[in-house]
Structure 1
């Protein structure tokens, strides 16, 4: 039985999967397997995977059902004690699994183990993730308050974290109802009940540069349901309330740009504006046509580092 099962959902990532797999195979920690579930890819992704001649890789196929079911099915196929998730467009440094192993060995049976990471905003801009807490040194530690710590970037990014397989199954795995943000739902549910361990070493690069724009069409109805599903918990947890309000702020901007007036209106009602910065309050009141203009010139803004200054608190 390997210690880690690396879980990779794959759907039409021919431009990224080779580099992703190379990074997974170049780990200094060697006790792991790689489980790839092809989610009905129609490009050359599978041919590229098959070019890798490694006995660590096991490839499975399913009809296109989304990342949640691909990850859940990969979990069912896996044999490792711990799961380490890796999206097909993200990259691991060679010490990624070694740092996760160090955290797990130091703090037994915690809820989530996560490493620090970089964010690739564009081909020319890769920057460290920014969190709402300070830390020194390079040894793992338990976060005092996951939600407060994640008020800028989320501390737990899927490709940066690991969880015990049995625990992941006990929590019901990823909810396939959510076409996006299913990982957000999972990490909230775990962090409400168990400790989150953070390793300060940056061992992963999250490729945010290939995401669609802020106004991309996605299942915002389901996202609204997700962000409304912790109402009772947030009443007694101010940090969770602030964390969810920032996620709702992002949803409010998306739905305003998309013209989804009902979801936008209902989302805004849930937000305590005291949890938003002055800049965020201003953007929330900005007319949709101006948000659309900023969204359309987003690639230029990112290239010149203006997007991060405008939309990030």
Structure 2
């Protein structure tokens, strides 16, 4: 049997409206030595029926009870046989040469992780490009800036050898990607960047990106676990400046979300935890002489937040409504 260069893991839950476009983009890859591991995570719509339409021998279909995206990805990791592992969400799509470019980069540079650019799609003519903005080959343990890399797993490939013992935390529903990625960094030696816009990520207002209250506490939990990883690897002193700044920005980001007023109990818990974490982070930053370094817009958001949370929410919602009404890029 031909060697499998990349195993592509696709968690699927009730994605009947998007699945065919996603699968077509994966199966049409110019890199042919792939396997596509589709994990139906207890879908109640026609997702499984759509999967079974495809007769391509590279598709491997697995079904399980609903357990969430981390559970589905972990299932996929157990059965994956490829030299490298990629992840695609079933409601996105990828460019036809994405995995050929990433794999060629990985082999050329002997990389453990390769990253590409992302196109965030808001509507047909409304999108923006996200890039990690570094070029060439980076040695993991000698580059502090690599700790700033976004933890999305779907714009990367990972050498299977380095993630054999790493799993997604199934108890965390938001921030699990960053946690997983941080663990992979400390198993890796070389990370490279492929300067191509290859992953198309749909940003939908009803998607999990617009989080429920329950996920907010999970994000805080994930960042505290990231600190544990840094301590375990004796790297906290090296990365603490970046870690503290990122954590504080995350707390700011959380406060910019709508907190449902009809969920008073969890709202109070969120505010209690945010207050404690914010106080701790600010104390740590002061002790270590670390400044926040916000851009002008975030600086004003932060000042308003510190002054009055209710005023802050009104301010953020006004900005958000204006932002969604304007096309970010129109070509």
TM-score (norm. length: structure 1): 0.83
1:196 maps to 191
Matched, 1:268 2:275: no
Query: Do 2:7 and 2:80's aligned partners in 1 also have CA atoms closer than 8 Å?
Result: yes
Give the deviation of 1:13 after TM superposition: 1.2
- Cα pair distance change 1:236/1:141, threshold 3 Å: closer
Query: Do 1:37 and 1:74's aligned partners in 2 also have CA atoms closer than 8 Å?
Result: yes
Query: Do 1:23 and 1:92's aligned partners in 2 also have CA atoms closer than 8 Å?
Result: yes
Query: Do 2:153 and 2:177's aligned partners in 1 also have CA atoms closer than 8 Å?
Result: yes
Give the deviation of 1:255 after TM superposition: 7.7
Determine the C-alpha separation between the residues in 1 that align with 2:147 and 2:222. 18
Determine the C-alpha separation between the residues in 1 that align with 2:321 and 2:46. 27
Q: Secondary structure at the match of 1:184?
A: helix
1:227 maps to 223
Matched, 1:55 2:51: no
Give the deviation of 1:216 after TM superposition: 3.0
Query: Do 2:118 and 2:198's aligned partners in 1 also have CA atoms closer than 8 Å?
Result: yes
Determine the C-alpha separation between the residues in 1 that align with 2:84 and 2:105. 12
Q: Secondary structure at the match of 1:54?
A: coil
- Cα pair distance change 1:249/1:70, threshold 3 Å: same
Give the deviation of 1:74 after TM superposition: 1.0
2:299 maps to 281
2:213 maps to 217
1:311 maps to none
Q: Secondary structure at the match of 2:213?
A: coil
2:288 maps to none
Match of 2:326 among 287, 304, 310: 304
Q: Secondary structure at the match of 1:218?
A: helix
Determine the C-alpha separation between the residues in 2 that align with 1:147 and 1:247. 19
1:129 maps to 130
- Cα pair distance change 1:242/1:292, threshold 3 Å: closer
Query: Do 1:124 and 1:303's aligned partners in 2 also have CA atoms closer than 8 Å?
Result: no
1:206 maps to 201
Structure 2 residues without counterparts, runs of 5 or longer? 262-266, 286-290
The one-character-per-residue Cα deviations of 1:106-139 (angstroms, maximum 9, x if unpaired) are 121x3321112211133431221144x465xxxx
Match of 1:253 among 253, 256, 272: 256
Determine the C-alpha separation between the residues in 2 that align with 1:91 and 1:264. 35
Query: Do 1:112 and 1:196's aligned partners in 2 also have CA atoms closer than 8 Å?
Result: yes
Matched, 1:169 2:164: yes
Give the deviation of 1:277 after TM superposition: 3.0
Determine the C-alpha separation between the residues in 2 that align with 1:134 and 1:72. 29
Query: Do 1:257 and 1:288's aligned partners in 2 also have CA atoms closer than 8 Å?
Result: no
Determine the C-alpha separation between the residues in 2 that align with 1:101 and 1:252. 39
Determine the C-alpha separation between the residues in 1 that align with 2:295 and 2:147. 15
Determine the C-alpha separation between the residues in 2 that align with 1:299 and 1:48. 36
RMSD between aligned residues: 2.9
Give the deviation of 1:230 after TM superposition: 3.6
Determine the C-alpha separation between the residues in 1 that align with 2:69 and 2:100. 26
Give the deviation of 1:219 after TM superposition: 2.4
Instruction: Look at both structures and tell me which one has the larger radius of gyration over its CA atoms.
Output: 2
Give the deviation of 1:301 after TM superposition: 2.5
1:141 maps to 137
